[in-house]
Amino acid sequence: MPGVDGFMYPNEVELQWSILIVLYPYLTGLVAGAFILASLARVFNVKEVQPTYRIALLTALAFLLVAPLPLQLHLGHPERSIEMYLTPHKTSAMAMFGFVYLWYLLIVLLMEIWLDYRKDIVILSRTKTGFMRLVYRILTLGSQNISEESRRVDDRVGLIVTIIGIPSAFLLHGYVGFIFGSVKANPWWSTPLMPVVFLFSAMVSGIATVLLVYQVVNKLRGQPVHMFCLDAIAKYLFYVFVIDFSLEMLDLVHRIYESDESFRSLDFMVHTKLYFSQIILQIMLGTLVPLVLLGANQVMKFGESTRRKMYTVAGILTMIGIFAMRWNVVIGGQLFSKSFLGYTTYKVEFATREGLLPAIALLLLPLGILWVLLKLLPPGEEEQTA
Amino acid sequence: MQKILRESGHLVRLALVLAAGFLIFMAVRAAIVPKSFGQYGHYRGAVLEEIRAKPISFAGRATCEVCHDEVAKTKSEGKHAGLGCEACHGPSAAHTEDPTTNHAFKPNPATLCVRCHEADRARPKTFPQVTSKDHANGMSCGDCHKPHSPKI
């Protein structure tokens, strides 16, 4: 059979989870990561990353709104997704995830953004005219109170929401790892480390996104891109990345030492079918190169424009590396046979419902939404700088 | 305390909006979710009645054997004894009710037999399999084997 090496059971030849399922943990990861960076600024009052606070929140929202779409596209029948809420299935991890998503969207992200932007919204509802005025008026919920005292209340409540938000963000993405980690029939996925690895890689990709988005957005808005801010983000990116990488290596060492019956098969796969995406893209280009670039900055002092370039390259490579990691988990887990005697091939389609084209569209869509959000809720001038 | 309450009026509004959303959701849920949902399990209880009301399409081999006792006898002595009649003839309930107007389907051995007997690695090794290209050489399986008692 073309594309099949060795022995495959008939139901393993064709992959069920396509590139869209690769996209899904990628998108939720960006959400969780961006939010955690924003929370860092708020809860621990890290002054250096303050300028990215609002941008990070809006980025998280833009990606969160798009995150369920790959699933809808993959499953088909989007009109049925409401059933998940109407008749909740309490013993299905995937079904309960709908509630985690809803909680995170409504109670954490929208609430935090609303509380933070309330003053801006009220002011905009007074200065804008026509249709936009109406939009902002609705967003104020009819309360024009922006007194010092009310803002202090907002700040308090916002802080509580953020504090609730951090475990929620962990839950949001840990959950995705849990779904894979709990598939006990699949040795490539089934490890309790999976949620933790997913979480840290989520933080890595989210921080890298903010690092890039912050530069681009402020360039486009004609606002300054602060070097102290980039330095701080790059520093966090480096440390989180080190933890992430150590965890992945821990998983690897554990697998090598344990060497259970699946090991030879998986090891062979990594050296053949997954060689490019795992060894070259994920580990070399997507992890080691950015780690060296970021690490060099922690021990040496480079010129400003060199630093900027190094961070940008590291950020882009990180994004590619984390995408490759999701790819290797989702696709890699379906390439080998449960008999450990054969391998199949995944051929990405192009202009089909689960092809490359919709995947690219879904990656660009959040950027479009982010643009609208930035217009609707401008992050403002330098009022929050340290 | 009084002052804090006065200054958090907008939060009360937010809470009201969320509460309204929740109530609308519950109302929609009450209206949309079928009454019998969850009666026996995580499905619509009434569906059992609906399925029961559907016309039956398979009659079962015991019914066939009432009229076709010679076929039943041949079959029970051959290697296909374990197969139901309708595994090959397809759903034939209509035929059993009125055999003369509803003719039963007579499958063509040339295409029928390979469905189960074509060599396939996924089938158990003990199951009799042939590579029809080599084995039948273009002839119909029915030219040599009798479907109801296939062993030669």
Q: Which residues contact A384 (CB under 8 A, 6 or more apart)?
A: A50, A51, A53, A54
Residue A19: count of CB within 10 angstroms of its CB: 23
Q: What percent of chain A has pLDDT over 70?
A: 98
Q: B7 to chain A nearest CA, in Å?
A: 5
Query: Measured between CB atoms, which of B10, B17, B37 is closest to A145?
Result: B10
Enter the DSSP assignment of A243: H
Q: Output the pLDDT for position A385.
A: 40
Please give the average per-residue pLDDT across A148-166, as a whole number: 92
Q: Does A308 fall in a domain?
A: yes
B3 vs A86: CB contact, 8 Å cut-off? no
Contact call for residues A346 and A335 (beta carbons, < 8 A): yes
- Name the domain count of chain A: 1
Q: Output the pLDDT for position A381.
A: 65
Helix (H) or strand (E) holding A200: helix A193-221
Q: Output the pLDDT for position A386.
A: 34
Q: Does A386 fall in a domain?
A: no
Question: Does the pLDDT value for residue B147 go beyond 80?
Answer: yes
Query: In this predicted model, what pLDDT tens digit does every residue of A325-339 receive, in sequence order?
Result: 999 999 999 999 999
Residue A259 — left, alpha, or beta (φ > 0 → left; ψ -120 to 50 → alpha)?
left
Please give the average per-residue pLDDT across A92-106, as a whole number: 92
Q: Which residue of B has its CA nearest to A6?
A: B121
Question: Does the pLDDT value for residue A248 go beyond 50?
Answer: yes
Contact call for residues A209 and A34 (beta carbons, < 8 A): yes
Q: Output the pLDDT for position B1.
A: 67
Closest CA to A234 of A253, A215, A220, A258: A215
Torsion, CA A168, CA A171, CA A173, CA A175, rounded to 10? -150
A150 vs B18: CB contact, 8 Å cut-off? no
Of how many residues is chain A composed? Answer: 386
Q: Does A7 fall in a domain?
A: no
B11 vs A157: CB contact, 8 Å cut-off? yes
Query: Measured between CB atoms, which of B4, B13, B28 is closest to A143?
Result: B13
- Whether ipTM tops 0.90, in short, is no
Q: Which residue of B has its CA nearest to A11?
A: B122
Query: In this predicted model, what pLDDT tens digit does every residue of B77-127 receive, in sequence order?
Result: 999 999 999 999 999 999 999 999 999 999 999 999 999 999 988 789 999
Give the CA radius of gyration of chain A.
Answer: 22
Mutation for testing the B interface, residue in A114, A153, A157, A341 having most B CBs under 10 Å: A153
- Would you give the distance in Å from CA A55 to the centre of its chain? 15
Please give the average per-residue pLDDT across A268-295, as a whole number: 95
Query: In this predicted model, what pLDDT tens digit does every residue of A173-219 receive, in sequence order?
Result: 888 899 999 999 999 999 999 999 999 999 999 999 999 999 999 99
Q: Output the pLDDT for position A3.
A: 86
A149 vs B3: CB contact, 8 Å cut-off? yes
Contact call for residues A335 and A273 (beta carbons, < 8 A): yes
Q: Which residue of B has its CA nearest to A118?
A: B10
Give the E-state strand segments of A162-238 in sequence order.
Answer: none
Please give the average per-residue pLDDT across A138-143, as a whole number: 92
Query: In this predicted model, what pLDDT tens digit does every residue of B2-31 receive, in sequence order?
Result: 777 788 889 999 999 999 999 999 999 999
A9 vs B122: CB contact, 8 Å cut-off? yes
Torsion, CA A116, CA A369, CA A286, CA A233, rounded to 10? -20
A149 vs B32: CB contact, 8 Å cut-off? no
A34 vs A210: CA distance, rounded Å? 6
Closest CA to A37 of A242, A178, A221, A235: A235
Enclosing domain of residue A321: 19-380
Query: In this predicted model, what pLDDT tens digit does every residue of A39-50 receive, in sequence order?
Result: 988 888 898 999
Please give the average per-residue pLDDT across A359-375, as a whole number: 96
Query: In this predicted model, what pLDDT tens digit does every residue of A8-18 receive, in sequence order?
Result: 998 999 999 99
Query: Measured between CB atoms, which of B10, B17, B122 is closest to A150?
Result: B10
Give the E-state strand segments of chain A in sequence order.
Answer: 5-6, 342-343
**Residue B73 Cα distances to A120, A271, B104, B149, angstroms:** 88, 60, 19, 10
Q: Output the pLDDT for position B116.
A: 95
Q: A110 to chain B nearest CA, in Å?
A: 11
Q: Within the 270-289 window of chain A, which residues sit less than 8 Å (CB to CB) from chain B?
A: none
Mutation for testing the A interface, residue in B5, B8, B35, B120 having most A CBs under 10 Å: B8
Q: Output the pLDDT for position A384.
A: 43
Enter the DSSP assignment of A45: -
Q: Does A365 fall in a domain?
A: yes
Contact call for residues B35 and A89 (beta carbons, < 8 A): no
Q: Which residues contact A87 (CB under 8 A, 6 or more apart)?
A: B33, B37, B38, B42
Q: Within the 106-135 window of chain A, which residues sit less than 8 Å (CB to CB) from chain B?
A: 106, 111, 114, 118
Query: In this predicted model, what pLDDT tens digit does every residue of A254-263 receive, in sequence order?
Result: 999 999 999 9
A330 vs B135: CA distance, rounded Å? 43
Q: Which residue of A has its CA nearest to B26?
A: A86
Q: Which residues contact A319 (CB under 8 A, 6 or more apart)?
A: A205, A208, A209, A212
Please give the average per-residue pLDDT across B139-144, as a whole number: 93
Mean pLDDT, chain A, integer = 93
B29 vs A118: CB contact, 8 Å cut-off? no
Contact call for residues A94 and A179 (beta carbons, < 8 A): yes
A130 vs A123: CA distance, rounded Å? 15
